[in-house]
């Protein structure tokens, strides 16, 4: 698939936020992968096209994980956290994605 075949406005909304956690950092160092929170209905092809369009890098592969929201108590009533869809984007060797905003 190519980024041209998707609506560019939709691609700009697919990636919700980068996930910066201890686990995501370990995966980034070990296998050159970046973790993003994505829309619930985003496909792997859309995620790949969005990353290539926004960050100008080549994507090797994508793994997607759906995490169900936990039930939590708020005072007397029970509530529920939102479901989260995470994408682990593996980059081609030699490619780098800097999300920290530091000068290289």
pLDDT tens digits for range 37-77 = 999 999 999 999 999 999 999 999 999 999 999 999 999 99
Confidence of residue 24 (pLDDT cuts 50, 70, 90): very high
**Looking at residue 101, what is its pLDDT?**
60
Q: Which domains does the chain have, with CATH numbers?
A: 3-91 (3.30.70.330)
Question: Does the structure show a pLDDT above 50 at 3?
Answer: no
Distance between CA atoms of 76 and 24, rounded to whole angstroms? Answer: 35
Please compute the mean of the pLDDT values over residues 3-28 and round it to a whole number.
Answer: 88
Tokens of 43: 């496909």
Distance between CA atoms of 15 and 51, rounded to whole angstroms? Answer: 8
Distance between CA atoms of 104 and 89, rounded to whole angstroms? Answer: 21
H helices of the chain, in order, are 8-14, 22-31, 44-55
Global pTM reads 0.84
Look at residues 32, 38, 16, 18 and name the one whose alpha carbon lies nearest to residue 92: 32
């Amino acid at each position: 698939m190519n980024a041209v075949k998707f609506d560019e406005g939709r691609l700009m909304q697919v990636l919700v936020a980068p996930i910066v956690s201890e686990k995501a950092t370990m995966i980034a160092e070990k296998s050159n992968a970046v973790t993003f929170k994505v829309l619930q209905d985003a496909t792997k092809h859309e995620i790949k096209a969005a990353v290539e369009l926004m960050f100008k890098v080549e994507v090797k592969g994508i793994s997607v994980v759906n995490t169900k929201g936990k039930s939590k108590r708020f005072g007397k009533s029970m509530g529920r956290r939102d479901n989260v869809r995470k994408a682990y984007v593996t980059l081609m060797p030699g490619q780098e994605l800097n999300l920290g905003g530091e000068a290289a």
